[in-house]
Amino acid sequence: MSKPLSKSELSQASHAFRQMSRARTFDCPTRGSRAMRRAHVHGIDRDAFMRRWSLLMIGSFSSREECAVHFGVTFQTACNWFDGMCRPYGDIVDHAMATLPRYDQVMRRR
């Protein structure tokens, strides 16, 4: 049987395993920094993409609920896209390219 840890040993152990929080430098609160690097390696203007994505959602769907159902995401995610608060994952963009007739018109780089 092992000896119980002393108070100082417990304190050191808890300090070693305590997770340090860090400031997020990107604008989508649900994505980690590693995902951010993977998703945006092509040097696109992320703010411009977010504005165009928002315009595409507003122009393609009559309501946020309809958008959420079409892409199979939560209502809050659809609201974030409509408001230009967050960008979609790649699979969502692929689905939009395949199913939304206005995609090329709105998302074309200018």
Domains of the chain: 44-110 (1.10.260)
Cα dihedral 50→53→54→60 (10° resolution): 180
Block residue for tokens 């609201």: 79
At residue 24, the pLDDT reads 46
Q: Judge contact between 67 and 56, C-beta under 8 A.
A: no
Comparing CA positions, the residue from 54, 78, 83 lying closest to residue 66 is 78
Ordered per-residue pLDDT tens for the chain, 110 residues: 567 767 777 666 555 555 454 444 445 555 666 665 555 555 568 888 899 999 999 999 999 999 999 999 999 999 999 999 998 999 999 999 999 999 999 988 55
Comparing CA positions, the residue from 107, 102, 104 lying closest to residue 88 is 107
The number of beta carbons lying within 10 Å of the beta carbon of residue 80 is: 22
